[in-house]
Amino acid sequence: MPMADVSANAADQKLEITASRLFVSWLAEQRASIAFSTYQVGKLFLIGLDEHGKLAVFNRTLARVMGLAAHDQSLWVATLWQLWRFENALQKGERHGAFDRYYVPQLAYTTGDIDVHDVAVDAAGEPVFVSTLYSCLARPDVKYNFRPIWKPPFVSRYAAEDRCHLNGLAMHNGEPAYVTCVAKSDVNEGWREHRHDGGLVIDVRSNEIICTGLSMPHSPRWHQGRLWILNAGSGEFGFVDTWRGRFEPIAFCPGFLRGASFIGRYAVVGISKPRKNKTFSGLALDRNLEAKGASARCAVQVIDLERGDVVHELRIEGMVDELFDTAVIPGARNPAMVGFVSDEIRRTLSLPPDAR
């Protein structure tokens, strides 16, 4: 099993990343790489293959990194108080050392600490994101920290109260289409009282609630004609039957589900070990794990949408117990990213082709 040891910080805390037997060959077949974030230790990981076809792991430190969105040559990244656009500095066929995708920070919006969760990109290439603290969808703004564009109909006003724990956003035809939240609540952190079965999916365009009875749902995504979601509180991955308003699970994953991305017939999802506090305790996930004789783990899993099988896994052990988001980066074999601390950010210059 391919394995990589990653030194995660100055204290030299170790992180062991182990790929299942066929994960590397699957990544090569898909001609893609994977990014995943963990706000627990403030790390963004880029997973690819090196020049010898072996597992390559690259990481950067970013404060409370959460939502990710890969779009064309850009990678949008939500952090503690900023929304960054990293841009690939390489032209087609170029390499920077061992890397064929080299992301440089080109633009940042100062959002403030508004608890940005999911990030997406619209048909015009512009970002839209979820502010969980303000229970709304929003866009960056050149003058203000953010510009709210939509809130659930049951939320009476924009307030920094995390009323319903709005967390997930699905795009359809290049516009915001569906969101997930943990509860139908209009009071400060009212969602915490409804973690077991208060979760719902809302159609942004019609303001209709199209599915209820979920447990802490996350990461809605429209893919191949279906609305997929992670029912995190039960550990189930599946889709919403939008006609019947019913969640249809197709796979169980041994952990708290967050972060979904897709390539072809496969979903890439993140699973976490639940925190030992009231928010994560007593959920159906605990019972499901016990019934299946399993323990919660931290991993990135690949699910076959046609069979409902978990076919590949990237197991993460050590200092990281929780993941937040994943992003598939098509066409990238071995990506890397410029950091903010070393001199490389001063010396990495990207010019238009006609100026080279």
Residue 353 within a domain: no
Is the pLDDT score of 10 beyond 50? no
- pLDDT in the model for residue 342: 76
Higher pLDDT, 13 or 110: 110
Residue with tokens 């915490």: 192
How many CB atoms sit inside 10 A of residue 279's CB? Answer: 14
Residue-wise pLDDT for 252-294, tens only, equals 999 999 999 999 999 999 999 988 777 778 899 999 999 999 9
Least confident span in 49-58, 119-128, 185-194, 334-343: 334-343
Give the tens place of pLDDT for each residue, 36-71.
Answer: 999 999 999 999 999 999 999 999 999 999 999 999
Place 4 in a pLDDT band, splitting at 50, 70 and 90: low
Judge whether 352 lies within some domain. no
Q: Is the pLDDT of residue 230 over 60?
A: yes
> Which residue type does 49 have?
L
Does residue 97 contact residue 48 with C-beta atoms inside 8 Å? no
**What order do you get walking across the sheet with 14-19 strand by strand?**
3-7, 14-19, 309-318, 299-304, 266-272, 256-263
pLDDT at 356: 67
The model's pTM: 0.94
The tokens describing 292, both together, are 């299946």
23 with 313: CB under 8 angstroms?
yes
Domain holding 78, by residue range, is 3-347
> What CATH number does the domain containing 266 carry?
2.120.10.30
Render pLDDT for 128-140 as a digit per residue (tens, 0 to 9): 999 999 999 999 9
Does 356 fall in a domain? no
Answer whether residue 110 is part of any domain. Answer: yes
Please tell me the total count of domains within the chain.
1
- Whether 355 is in a domain gets the answer no
For residues 72 and 306, the answer to whether their CB atoms sit within 8 Å is no
- Confidence at residue 11, expressed as pLDDT on a 0 to 100 scale: 46
